[in-house]
Amino acid sequence: GENVEQHPSTLSVQEGDSAVIKCTYSDSASNYFPWYKQELGKRPQLIIDIRSNVGEKKDQRIAVTLNKTAKHFSLHITETQPEDSAVYLCAASFRGGGNKLVFGAGTILRVKS
């Protein structure tokens, strides 16, 4: 069935270190993989996304990599800052129902200063 697994569930890093969050998906036909950041009590907001025709995308300190063979994609945050502390949600599109998005369970990232 449609499934997205996200690891780790919590991640603590020191300010300035890098953070990596990984998601795996079940549908080999999935073609769109967004990452959302959700601050405490706020709505999720898109921070970066990648489509299946590329393997990597960068936006300043944030990058996403995609391995279609292994069916996993990862979020990389470099030079972490306290304001990066939030819940990060990955998602993948599934063919059933017109490419709706299915989300992972989320990762709580804490950046310690």
Q: Which of 19, 22, 25, 34 binds another protein (CB under 8 A)?
A: 34
| Shortest Å, Cβ 112 to another protein | 22
Amino acid code (one letter) for 48: I
List all residues 6 or more positions away from 91 whose beta carbon is below 8 Å from its beta carbon: 4, 33, 34, 35, 36, 101, 102, 103, 104
Which pair of structure tokens corresponds to residue 9? 């569930």
User: Of 51-80, which residues contact another protein (CB under 8 A)?
Assistant: 51
Q: Exposed/middle/buried for 29, CB within 10 Å: 0-12, 13-18, 19+?
A: exposed
| Shortest Å, Cβ 48 to another protein | 11
Q: Which of 45, 54, 56, 81 binds another protein (CB under 8 A)?
A: 45
For another protein, the binding residues (CB under 8 A) are: 2, 6, 9, 31-32, 34, 36, 42-46, 49, 51, 89, 91, 93, 95, 97-106
